[in-house]
Chains A and B, each alone.
Chain A
Amino acid sequence: MDWFIQPWPWWISGILIGLTVPLLYLLSGKAFGISTSFQQAGAMCFPDSKLEYLSRHDRKEKMWTVVFVAGIAIGSFIATRILPAEYSDFLPAEFDSLGGGIKLLIAGFLIGFGTRYAGGCTSGHSITGIANLNWPSLVATIFFFVGGLAVTWGLGQWIF
């Protein structure tokens, strides 16, 4: 069972992650994407909001997104408790601090704002979008990397 406990090879992970697209379509008719879950959660909390982005959001059609991300959390729970990998550090220890929490809050802000403004994340745009030959998704993916590289190579000295 060792192969199940070790981190998996890239090609296995890649194939299985890619299969999420047809699996989700075939079993539920839904397009693989994750960042909509932020909007769905917000719309569920404030369905009568003055903000049309929330009140005009179709909560029933997108309910699946919060079920899906709950599933992700459950899957990770299973993987870390029942199929433990060699590592347990999702985040480096430096993040276990007030400063670390603030960095993550800011990073999260950029993720939440950015993915919603772009209309998708690495799942919805990079994988599902490009797989369906959606050229805006290729553009989105390019700029995901522009942003990530700029931060890593530019501001990296202060952040890391």
Chain B
Amino acid sequence: MLLANLPALQVVIPLVSAPVCLLLRNPRHAWAWSTLVSWLVLAMALLLVQRVSVDGTISYAIGAWATPWGIEYRIDMAGALMILIIATIGAVVMPYAWRSIQHELHKKHTGLFYTCYLLCLTGLLGIVVTGDAFNLFVFLEISSLSSYVLISLGSTRRALTAAYQYLVMGTIGATFILIGIGLLYMMTGTLNMQDISQRLPEVADTRTIRVAFAFVTVGVSIKLALFPLHIWLPNAYTFAPSVVTAFIAATATKVGVYVLLRFFFTVFGIHFSFNSMHVGEILMLLAVAAILVASLVAIFQNNVKRMLAYSSVAQIGYIILGISLATSDGVTASMLHLFNHALIKCALFLAMGCIFLRLGSVELKDMNGLARQMPWTMAAFVAGGLSLVGLPLTAGFISKWYLVSAVLVDGYWPLAVLVLVSSLLALMYIWRVVEAAYFHVPGAAMHRVREAPASMLVPTWLLIGANLYVGINASLITTIARQGANALIGQATP
């Protein structure tokens, strides 16, 4: 009984738990409660992944209203992978949050933080689980609205403008998506994604559907920060509280990519998206621009969080590059990098959180000689950084290998060179931090800095460990990614 309702519980449990945090007056209780919920969510996610891998795609009718009239929750391997990412990151970040939030947030805001975090978790999970286009929009708004609040909780006043900027951009994106879904509804008379995709071919050759496609693509591209629609991202990541940055960087943009995949492959179908609308060429161009421009910009950043934010824009470029190929290999590489990049970036931002806790700054000039004072944190940063660069035995290497070979199979060897060259750019910006922390003469106040507490180091190192594990034994995750990619593509190809 409980097991059968797992798809619904996955979303409902964090949703109903969220208001509880607001009621718990003691911050410690609110933290304990949301940690517990996060772990429960992870346990359910693991069960779901296991069930999907055994039984195949799960379809669940909310309130037993049969599809296409009721809302359908539909989880295939691609969705299962996303649930795994979101739940894992949530479960790892929460134990870390206690000390970090205590330090960065005013006490009266902590309840609000945990509430919004759980709501954001709900929204992200809901987007992935649902098979209904309008329901997807609702969850997208839940996650977006809560993340505006989360970002505005940052310790400086600039967090407010960052959140406002994100709010404006995000709302434009959401509106575009809504318009697109509305047009689709107008033409097909249904909101169930499977149903839309079946009815779409009859009306595919109309201007309305093409406009709908354009609206959805642009709207989602804002959400996932595809270059040049990424301008909200660097500020949001820089000024948000450390925990929020780590959580959102690893999940929110990834879910955006998932929405894009869903619409391209499941709703519109690979043929319409890539052959009629030629979105592949456009995406490839934007991906290349994202990789090059954002990597170059990252090299010149002096705030390390902002540097990592630009690096995220570049990494999203990698993911989009894989999708733009529209092949099984390409989408597999993208799915794989969704997972691996979540591990990498979350670990790096958590390391930044440790530094911010002790140093009160993430400016490069303040980090001179930091490695002597915080050896474990900096070692984690170096390991995560090497994974970002993509050296062997790290997760980053696995996704890079897949991406380069997918690109090569299609004969785009200049792109393969580009991907590899840009990993050198990544090396350059990571190494600026390494040189500052390991070689520069420490400032006068540096001797007072201590190593971060274990409650923050352990989650950081857990993610680093996961990075190394995936680098050595990637068979599980590559299998899931491959199945996910095939689920996406296979559905679309008749």
Please say whether chains A and B are actual partners in one complex.
Answer: no
Q: Which residues of B contact A (CB under 8 A)?
A: none
